[in-house]
Chains A and B, each alone.
Chain A
Amino acid sequence: MFMIQEKVITWFLACRTTDVPQNGGVCVKYQDEQIALFNFSRRGEWYATQNLCPHRMQMALSRGMIGTQNDEPKVACPFHKKTFSLASGKCLSGDDCGDIKTYPVKIENDLVYIGVEDNE
């Protein structure tokens, strides 16, 4: 038998689609959280992850460069070029600096919504 846990996702309005540069990222403030939001326009995809790079605990991933590695979308931290999968949050740099949290993103009427979990 599986335990079924109730997860409630709350969608909050982050910004307009035009606020995010093409193939680039911005940082979104949600309460006390910092979320990196990426507009991967070349693939027509949107991603959101934590803004904190776990390597040196720097709030910087939103300023990182995005791209792909064997078709896996990724972001490279501007500090030391640690790379993380945008899809799974896994660290791709082959060392154990840790994985990052990802968030769902949806676009409605040129507005960007990010989903956060309320574990209650």
Chain B
Amino acid sequence: MKIVVIGNGMVGYKFCEKLTAKAQPGQFEIVVFGEETRPAYDRVHLSEYFAGKTADDLTMAGLDWYAEKNIRLYLGDPISYIDRDNKTVRSHHGINESYDYLILATGSAAFVPPIPGVEKEGVFIYRTIEDLELMTAYAKKAKVGAVIGGGLLGLEAAKAMIDLGVTNTHVIEFAPRLMPRQIDEAGSNILKTKLESLGLSIHTSKNTSEILGDQFITGMQFTDDTKLDVDMLVISAGIKPRDELAKLAGLETGHRGGIVVNDKLGTADPFIFAIGECALHNGMIYGLVAPGYEMAEVVATNLMGGDKSFTGFDMSTKLKLIGVDVASFGDPFVAASEGKTIVLEDSMKGIYKRINVSPDGKYLLGGILIGDAEAYNMLLQTTKNKVVLPPNPEDVILGARGGSGNEGGAGVLSLPDDALICSCESVSKGDICGAVCDGNETMDAIKKCTKAGTGCGGCVPMVKDLITHTLKSQGKYVRNVICEHFNYSRQELYDLVKVHKLMTFDEVLDKLGTGDGCELCKPPVASILASLWNEMILAKGNDTAQDSNDRFLANIQKGGTYSVVPRIPGGEITPEKLIVIGEVAKKYNLYTKITGGQRIDLFGAHVNDLPAIWSELIAAGFESGHAYGKALRTVKSCVGSTWCRFGLHDSVSFAIRIEERYRGLRAPHKLKSAVSGCIRECAEAQSKDFGIIATEKGWNLYVCGNGGSKPQHALLLATDLDSETCIKYIDRFLMFYIKTADPLTRTATWLNKMEGGIDYLRNVVVNDSLGIGEQLEAEMQTLVDNYKCEWKEAVENPEIRKRFTHFVNAPEAKDPSIQFEPMREQKKAKEWK
């Protein structure tokens, strides 16, 4: 049987996924036509494109998936004609395909109201990755932005504008309140106040009559005779079903758009179905992904000979708008005659909760949550499953859940097995608990085998609760342990080593572990010992627990030679010191190269020569650069206000101060930093683990950036800090990272795994929400005070120094297997096999 799918959006893709999962290989021939040039991607999380996700991250499935499933996929080639009599379609590029069944998943387009001037440059819609790319380019020169539409999509677009750097953004809503379909007036007012405190300007009951400007938009004219000057406008006022193809084929469409379908999602033509945002079911267009997926499920099941119907869908929704939780579930606006309403409003904290209860007080009918939507999943399930409410129904919003995992879990446990946990993928509580019992004990495993949590992601906390509680009920307790010798996570080990005051690897292994250790547990334990006590890492007993680079205080390179990197704080160096480096390099025949961190790397040193090389460097005033360690590497700087005509502050001096403060600091992974003297950001501070950029009023502190294999921009932690506060926050940030991160986890990954993300981190570091700020600062100060150059100690200690030989029985001999090849007047290591 041959199926042609028109449209390769989220729902079109989901249909292919569901059908191929149900069918025998070869049972269906599937051909898909997509208008966009990319395979289906996650439009729901489009705004994450700005937060560092790439187009690839958003892709639902790569081209290899389609190939593997034998699906022929034509991209960038929309269907232009359906011939219902002969059951064929013709594409824009002239491809003809016959079909047995045709699936219309054409989706929707942005609805653009007919306002004069919408064609001007600088006016955008917000729908595809291409739209985002256009916006990104234009936003660079825009100062003031506006969004038409105060609904769900409009506020997403406003967030996108802020992410693009257009922080002065206005939201224009025609209705008297924000998100008129989902929340009530009181909730809308709280949301408005919250969004305004974040820098958005909100205008309700405002109707745009004209877009001003010649070629480019320069402003907006409203019907109330007011005007607003703007450089950029995004229209996000709703969606318009893409039904033109169906209309052309003579299928019935709705008054305001949409392909009319029955409960089987069938059109008047028995061989044509419509699913997703283009389908008009019972007078309703479903503009969310979950009902679209359900439609895909219904059609796929029926094509397999099943009998499923689509009978409407719960439109409950939860989202985070610019950091503000907004949720609406069940019937959010119950009329007074049909139920009672309980409202909790805290305008100080910006929290609004409303629940609607049946007249007898027994059941929850629906509600609204603004500012704190933690209880959303529980309340939604309580509503859907008609769970009987406690005697005082207000308990469900008055913090009975509180946020503690245990109480939340008890709530999850009280749900029946058929309670739908993931509504995007229709996964029930029973499905998830069953999968956990079958050995799928992590969130990733559950996602893989049940697909729960792969849609909007809203159910993930609940799924995690279910995993934990199912495992607990089996008497299991799963943690991220280090290796077979230690049944602890790094964080637990850190605390235990500290409490027991253990100083060597063997002491730690005897007290807390089993067996003899291995290359997986030795480096993290050695790192914890260094982070806690900051003793010389080659002190007896710990030397052989160090990773090879730490053991020889140098990076092992191709061929078995080592590299030497003296510290050059902030990248500032005198001519005298440059000459010393040059002389040392000549004397020991070393290859020299400037590093990305503004210092000089000397390669090709024999292990026997390392102590002599370092003695000469130390005599000239150099110290270890820790390029070999999971430690602070460099603090890069631009030249700053001392020379640069744009510089706001002296970035070099501050970088030197930072580098000298944290030099030698051992951490779960390497640490890089930078200081820029103005927003031109020549030091690239936003790609560092912690980066500092000068502002008119002080310093902005960014954290958790990363270059490397998966680049990630650092996030703004705090603004306009004086130097002392900036250092205080860095102290807290670094100590918190050192204490809680898993081994070999860079700050970016650490943050990505952190529940609550940057907001939580900011609370800990800036607002001291855990009350550990002073302790973290004190611990850091101890480490700073204990700093010694470990190369100085190594060359001065004969016991350590004698380890730097290649042959134990021929200390003077160098490794004869080391070979170099000449290259551009220097040398390189001989290529290995």
Contacts and interface: CB of A to CB of B under 8 A. Distances in A.
A34 B520 CA distance: 26
Contacts of B117: none
B759 to A, nearest CB: 37
A69 B484 contact: yes
Contact of B817 (A21, A22, A59, A70): A59
- Size band of the A side of the interface? 35 or more
B50 to A, nearest CB: 37
A22 B544 contact: yes
A37 B517 contact: no
Interface string B100-121: 0000000000000000000000
A65 B544 CA distance: 7
A88 B652 CA distance: 56
Contacts of B547: 65, 78
- Size band of the B side of the interface? 35 or more
A27 B806 contact: yes
Interface stretch (B65-73, B315-323, B344-352, B808-816): B808-816
Contacts of B818: 59
| Secondary structure dominating the interface of A | strand
Contacts of B544: 21-24, 65-66
A92 to B, nearest CB: 10
A43 B516 contact: yes
Interface stretch (B27-35, B548-556, B719-727): B548-556
A60 B520 CA distance: 18
Nearest to B510: A42
A82 to B, nearest CB: 10
Interface stretch (A2-10, A12-20, A100-108): A12-20
Given A29-B807, A29-B810, A58-B832, A67 B556 contact: no
B23 interface: no
A15 B552 contact: no
A71 B484 CA distance: 10
Nearest to B509: A42
B808 A42 contact: no
Given A15-B808, A27-B807, A63-B556, A68 B817 contact: no
Contact of A58 (B522, B523, B560): B560
Given A14-B808, A67-B517, A69-B518, A22 B556 contact: no
Contact of B548 (A21, A56, A63): A63
A68 B516 contact: yes
Interface string B360-379: 00000000000000000000
A108 B559 CA distance: 35
Interface string A57-89: 111100111111111011010110101000000
Contact of A71 (B515, B522, B543, B813): B515
Contacts of B229: none
A42 B809 CA distance: 24
A40 B543 CA distance: 14
B813 A29 contact: yes
Nearest to B548: A78
A116 interface: no
Nearest to B505: A23
A37 B805 CA distance: 14
Given A34-B817, A78-B548, A21 B833 contact: no
Contacts of A70: 484
Given A63-B548, A67-B522, A78-B556, 8 more contacts: A23-B545, A27-B807, A27-B815, A28-B809, A57-B833, A58-B559, A66-B544, A67-B518
19 contacts: A15-B808, A19-B808, A21-B803, A22-B544, A24-B551, A37-B808, A42-B516, A57-B832, A57-B833, A60-B556, A63-B548, A65-B522, A67-B518, A67-B519, A68-B516, A71-B515, A73-B516, A78-B549, A79-B556
Interface of A: 14-15, 19-24, 26-29, 34, 37, 40, 42-43, 56-60, 63-71, 73-74, 76, 78-79, 81, 83
For the complex of A and B, list the 7 residue pairs with the smallest distance between their C-beta atoms, beginning with the closest: A67-B518, A78-B548, A24-B544, A76-B519, A26-B808, A29-B807, A65-B519
